Every structure is written in structure tokens, then in C-alpha cells.
């Protein structure tokens, strides 16, 4: 599952980089995916929406077994 999640994140990365941010896969535990936001994503009021509506939605559509996506520091 780790490689599949990495692939989806890599596909999303250009859009995040375009806005001055980035995301790093930290770990996967029990179907939950933990990511670390970087760059302009840190402290951005839209970051929670980016994690839920963009990253989590894409991962749940494309990778079987993904539950929630959580941002960690």
C-alpha cells in the first residue's frame, strides 16, 4: 500500500508545489495515512481542506484500504 499511496501523492505534488507547498508521506497505520505538510501549506487556513478534500479523496478513490488521512507536525 505504501508504494500506491506514494504514487498518488506524487501525482498531486505538482499542484501543491505550484502553490508553494508540498506533502510528505510519514506512515500508514491500520489504513490511516499520516502526511506532513510543508512549505506554504504549514499554517494555511486551507490546509485542512486540502488534506480532506484533495489528498484523502484521491487516496480513497485510487488505493484500496485507505481510511482517513491525517496531517502531523
pLDDT tens by residue, 53-69: 999 999 999 999 999 99
Write down the pLDDT at residue 43: 85
Write down the pLDDT at residue 73: 84
Contact 21, 15 (CB under 8 A): no
- The DSSP secondary-structure symbol of 66 reads -
CA nearest 12: which of 72, 53, 68, 66? 53
Contact 37, 23 (CB under 8 A): yes
For the residues 34-51, what does the mean pLDDT come to?
90
CA–CA separation, 45 vs 63, rounded Å? 27
The pTM of the full predicted model, rounded to 2 decimals, is 0.90
Write down the pLDDT at residue 8: 97
Residue-range domains of the chain with CATH: 2-72 (3.30.300.130)
Helices then strands (H, E): number in the chain?
A: 3, 3
Amino acid at each position: 500500500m505504501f508504494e500506491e499511496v506514494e504514487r498518488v501523492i506524487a501525482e498531486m505534488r505538482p499542484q501543491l508545489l505550484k502553490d508553494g507547498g508540498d506533502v510528505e508521506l510519514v506512515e500508514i497505520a491500520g489504513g490511516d495515512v499520516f502526511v506532513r505538510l510543508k512549505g506554504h501549506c504549514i499554517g494555511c487556513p486551507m490546509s485542512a481542506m486540502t488534506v480532506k478534500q484533495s489528498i484523502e479523496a484521491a487516496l480513497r478513490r485510487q488505493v484500496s484500504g485507505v481510511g482517513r488521512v491525517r496531517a502531523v507536525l
